[in-house]
Each structure stands twice: as C-alpha cells, then as structure tokens.
Structure 1
Amino acid sequence: MSVDSGLFGPTSVTWHLHADPAMWIGGISALHLQALHPLAAMGIVQNSSFEEDPFGRLVSTGSFIVQTTWGTRAEAEQAGARVRAVHARMRIHEPGTGKIHRLDSPGLLLWVHCALTRSNLHAVRRGGLKLTPWQADDYVHEQRRIAALVGLDPTDTPGTAADLDDYLTGMYGALAASEEAMVIHRFLSRPPLHGPHRALRPAWTAASRLGYSIIPPEAQALYQRPGIPAPMATAALRAARSAALLIPQQRRLNFPAPHLSRAIARLGRAGVPSGRQLRSLSRSAAPASPALGADQK
C-alpha cells in the first residue's frame, strides 16, 4: 500500500525549501511586492480584515503553504477548494471608474502567485540555502501545482526561474505605489499591536523592514522608500536564518499547523526536510505535472 506523500513528497525541492526559516521573511516580502499591483491592493483593502487582525493574513498564507506542502493529497485539495471558494465571493470596486472586478480573475491570481514564488525563492537563496540553477527551476515548476489549486491553468504560469523573472520584469509598467499600496506598506511596517502582542513590535518591525529590503530594486523605487542596503540586508537575513535553525525543527515547523509532523509519521525519516536530502536530489526527481484530482484538471 502506497504512502500518501501529498502534492510534492520528499523527492521535490518544495518539500525541503519550504522548511527553511527564511520563508517567513519571504512571505512578508511577498506582501510588500503584491501590494504594488493596484487592483490587488484594492482587493486586500476592500476584502481583508488585516487592520483588525495583524497576524491573520501572514498566518493564513503560512497555513496554506504548510497544508499544501506536507499535507495529504486530500488536505491539499481541500485547502485549494477553500481558497477558491473565498476568492470567488469577493469583488473589487474600482472607485475611479465604477468597474467591478473579480478577485479570482486569472491576471490577479497570476500576479499573487508569481510574487509569492519569487519572494520565497529569493529569500531562501539570499538567506544562505544553496540551490543549483536546476533546483530553482524545479521549484518554480513545482509551484505550478499550487497555481492549479487556486484556480489557474498551470501551463499559463512560469515554469522556470528565468520565466518568472521575465514575467516580473514585464509587470513593472503596470505596478504603482497606489494609495491602497501605501496603506498596506505602512501597516506592514508598523502594525497596531495591542495587549500582549505589543511585545512583538520590535521583531515584527525588523522582519518587515528586512522583507521590504529584499523586494526588487524596481519595486522599492516605486515606493520611493529605500530599504536596508543590500549587503546589510543579506547579512541580517543570514543571521536571522541561522538563529532560527537553532530552534528544534519539530517545534519550529509545527507552526502554524502540524502537517509536517504528520507527514514524517507517515513517511518516516525520509520525510524529514534537510539540506542534505535537498543536495542529494537528482534533476526533475519530482513529478513534472500538477497531477491533481479530477475536479482540478
């Protein structure tokens, strides 16, 4: 009887890369980058409770990544179904024109997907995780399975790191530091933390500043706010990653959901993410196609 290794399994780059602690900085970085798309920023401001729940958006994204990376095939598809259902209900009202846009339009979904994929890949590599060029390509290609889960045609999403860079370069002309983008940027930089959460302000501020500092220079130019100088940002990210790696993996990776522990229980030691296993992977070891359930094809 075969063991359910989910969408990716231990022979994928994603399985190991998503266990890297620099992913959290990548997630924050993605939020800064995603906000530069005017419609995406409107969608967040109009449909999200991020100002009342400072951690909700980040934890929600983290939970989705954990469940789709290490959960069973059924759990991953359930996570995708929930995201599609939520997005399908949401609309964006464009004040200047009166137009109404769907939050789940392919263009918006593609931007959010690519900005997150780029941010995760860039954060872990810059943080010191050694990836070969083909492993970076495999990671981008594997993320097409996530694109399919949220409602995109995976063949319409970038399949290599170069394709991803080309997509982002082609998008800069459509990006802007809109009023909504600045609301999100200011919130991410200094969220209104209250009660026991106030003690987290220094760590949050530092993480947000670091995440902002590793978005592309072209994106920082749109915000017209300089980040930490590149060499200092790289050193800070590597130091933060090294410190996080000292936390026992089971404790560190059980947040925000224990799907990795369950995967290891199913798969044994082969399911433990590690740099050694990542280095031992052969090219394109993971399945090349999204291979989702029938309702996702």
Structure 2
Amino acid sequence: MLPDVRAHLGALLLRRVAGPDARAVRARIHDTPGARWFGPDRAIRVVHGDASMFVGGVSALLLQSLHPLAMAAVAAHSGYRGDPWGRLQRTSTFLAVTTYGTAADAQAAVDRVRGMHEKVRGTTPDGEPYHAADPHLLGWVHAAETACFLGAHERYGAHPLDPAGYDGYVADTARVAEALGVTDPPRDRRALSERLAEYRPELRATPEARAATRFLLFEPPLPLPVRPLYGALAANAVTLLPSWARSLLRLPHVPLVENLTVRPAGHLLIGTIRWALAPPPRSD
C-alpha cells in the first residue's frame, strides 16, 4: 500500500514539475552519453537534485519580481498566469539539462533561451525600456535565483554543504550564467551577497510585482484540497526572503509563528516530497 502511495505521489509531482513525459525526459537527460558541464561531484548537482528546490523556486520568483524591468518583461511576455505549469516545466527542464545533461544539450538549451530573450523587448508602465537579453538584467535574475536556491538547500536540504561547498555552488551556477550572457557573475557566496546589495537601489514593489506575489501565494492554479500543502510551501518560501524584500512586498514577519509552525511544516513537507520522488529500491 505505502509503495503505491509513494509511486502515485511521485508521478503526480513529476508531471506537474516536468510535464507528462517527465520520466522519459529525465532518462534522456541523465542517460545520454557524453561530456557534461558538471561532474558528479559538483555542488550544483547536490543542490539542484534536492527537494528543497520546491521552496527555493517560489522564493526566487518572489525576489526576482522586485526588479521593475524584470517584472515588466515577465508580466508582458511569460504568460505565467495563463500557463503557469508550462512555464514551471520549461524552467525545471532547463535547470535539469544544464546541470545533468550533456555539454551539447546544455549549450543547445542555453542557445534556445538566449534566442527567446533576444525577442523580449518593451517598456514598463512608467516608460522605462527593457530587454530580456540585457546582461545587467540577466545578472539580477541569476543572483536572486542562486541566492534562493542556496538558502533553501542550506535550510531544508537533506545534506547541507559546508561553506566551501556553497561557494562551489555559486561558482557552478556562474558557468551557466555566463553562457546565458551574464557579465562577470559572482563566484562565491560573499560576492553573491555583494552583488545582491548592488541591485538594491533599483528594486521596488511595482503593481505588477504585487500582483505576481498575490498569484504565487494566494491564487495558485491548484485544486482546493491541495492548497493547504502549497500554502505551507509558499509560507516557507517567504521566510527565506531577506527582511528588506519582505518589507517591499508587504509580507509580514512573525518570528514566533514562523519558528514554531511554518519552518517545522516546511521540513515535513519537503521531507515528504523527497520521499515521494526518491527512486524505488532496486530488487536484485
């Protein structure tokens, strides 16, 4: 009975995150022979292969929304409201291919994304021009994503890394960022923190950012019975945000409640996701 529940839950999660052909895609990424950008001992494989990414991904979207130009591009071109699962699946597949796939497949995935970024241009409601291929804008998206994935793994990962390991993770992600067009991405945790601070004067919670926050936290396209579980995931994603980001997004900080209920619920939920997605034991 329990193995059946595990298999059903794992299949459901995979379909949501990676699409209807998730297992075939996973097999193709991992089993295709050839050189990789990252060897099996690299930190990026540890972080991106952990269930903590579910929390880190939501946190990254919230943090990224605070750059007006990035948020304007997402609001106008990503279709996150009309096809949120499709966007999630494309993002998760890109992360999987660049982390675990062959070097040729990783480069092809990067080339596709760069081609899409080149077409995304426009102006914000305030009249500021944006271009998704702008290295400075790409740098913000990369830094926010890396910080949130790292923070989620440090707090919820099955096997947290030591400081050198997390520096290695930042260095690994810089390899992908450079391929995408980021200029001089940070290569250790200290540089990542400094880079985020450099962007602070540019950040604000625009109406589009607040709309995205409402959508992510309170209007997820999920059946009602599943929403409490997603609510726990989203609440833990909020706790990962820097205090200044929470203030900009008007997300309250209640330390006692978060420490006694939100974080324990997050550990339980992430542990359940990890259990469901673990490969079944081999029968020899």
- TM-score bin, normalised by smaller chain: 0.7 to 0.9
Partner of 1:92, secondary structure, is strand
Q: 2:13 corresponds to which residue?
A: none
Question: In the alignment, which of 177, 180, 199 is matched to residue 171 of structure 1?
Answer: 199
Q: Matched residues in 2 for 1:67 and 1:38: separation?
A: 29
2:243 to 209, 214, 217: 217
CA contact (8 A) 2:233 2:266 kept: no
What residue is the counterpart of 2:226 in the other structure? 200
Structure 2 distance, partners of 1:198, 1:64, is 29
Does the C-alpha gap of structure 1 residues 94 and 246 become closer, same or farther in structure 2, counting only changes over 3 Å?
Answer: closer
Give the CA deviation at 1:192.
Answer: 5.5
Residue 214 of structure 2 is aligned with which of 186, 210, 213? 186
Question: Do residues 118 (structure 1) and 118 (structure 2) align?
Answer: no
CA gap of 1:43–1:227, structure 2 versus 1, over 3 A, is farther
Residue equivalent to 2:136: 107
Structure 2: gaps spanning 5 or more residues: 1-32
CA drift at 1:243: 1.9
Quote the residue 1:259 is aligned against. Answer: none
Structure-to-structure mapping, 1:78-117, within 5 angstroms? 78-97=108-127, 99-117=128-146
- Cα offset for 1:109? 0.2
Structure 1: gaps of 5 or more residues: 252-297
Q: Which residue of structure 2 lines up, in the alignment, with residue 49 of structure 1? A: 79
2: CA distance, partners of 1:32 / 1:181: 8
Give the superposed CA RMSD. 1.9
TM-score after normalising by structure 1: 0.76
2:59 is aligned to 29
Instruction: After TM superposition, give the deviation of residue 59 of structure 1 in Å.
Output: 2.3
**Contact persistence 1:127–1:234 (CA under 8 A):** no
Structure with a larger share of its residues in helix: 2
For residue 279 of structure 2, give the secondary structure of its aligned residue in structure 1.
helix
Deviation, 1:131, is 1.1
Partner of 1:10: 40
